[in-house]
Amino acid sequence: MKIWSSEHVFGHPWDTVIKAAMRKYPNPMNPSVVGVDVLDRSLDNQGRLHSHRLLSTEWGLPSIVKAILGTSRTLTYIAEHSVVDPVEKKMELCSTNITLTNLVSVDERLVYTPHPENPEKTVLTQEAIITVKGISLSSYLESLMANTISSNARKVSRYNGRRAVFLGKRGNPSKSCSIPERPAQRK
């Protein structure tokens, strides 16, 4: 199992970053995502927007890796649950792969919040847990995937000046985000 996490600060306010995050794909910085569909979307009783999306990705695994994994599938699918709280200004995305699950588990979680010291900036914390199952090259493959995620996330910092900010994959240890109830104090 490999765990990867990072934190990144965008030089834009939360609303701007969230609007861009919702329109993240197609993303030239992460061309492996080739399809995105919304499967369900609704507001909960606290006014938070929940979305469930299906992403199709083309990992571009080296052919030797595909041969070792014994798969000829090139497309993998990811289920993502996101929650946007416009009052608390928090967006959380959790995702997990739903194919190749007998071989690998990639769970990611991203959280966007305003920077605690500067409302003109936004903080993204991102973490991924990668587990490759059942084969002796598991450490190597876990590192390969973690490096890909990390590299995609680093591409953000190189393009920090762009209004449309793109990030690495999203994820979470569970298929759905565990979103606690917002404390009382609403107007």
Task: Fill in the per-residue mask, 97 to 136: x = in contact with another protein (CB under 8 A), - = not in contact.
Answer: -xx-------------------------------------
d(C-alpha 56, C-alpha 78), whole Å:
6
**Beta-carbon neighbour count of residue 134 at 10 Å?**
9
Q: Contacting another protein (CB under 8 A), which of 26, 31, 60, 119?
A: 26
d(C-alpha 49, C-alpha 60), whole Å:
33
- How are strands ordered across the β-sheet holding 104-114? 2-10, 122-132, 104-114, 90-97, 75-85, 49-58
The residue among 2 and 169 lying less far from another protein, judged by its C-beta, is: 169
Does 163 bind another protein (CB under 8 A)? Our answer is: no
Q: Contacting another protein (CB under 8 A), which of 87, 102, 157, 159?
A: 87
CB of 52 to another protein, least distance (A): 5
Stretch that binds another protein, among 62-70, 105-113, 127-135, 176-184 (CB under 8 A): 176-184
Q: Contacting another protein (CB under 8 A), which of 11, 32, 71, 77?
A: 77
Contacts with another protein by CB under 8 A: the residue count is 41
124 contacts 167 by C-beta, under 8 angstroms: yes
d(C-alpha 24, C-alpha 142), whole Å:
25
CB of 166 to another protein, least distance (A): 12
d(C-alpha 154, C-alpha 46), whole Å:
34
d(C-alpha 104, C-alpha 97), whole Å:
8
> Under the rule (CB under 8 A), what is the footprint of another protein?
15, 18-19, 22-23, 25-26, 33-47, 49-50, 52, 54, 56, 77, 79, 81, 83-84, 86-87, 98-99, 175-177, 179, 181
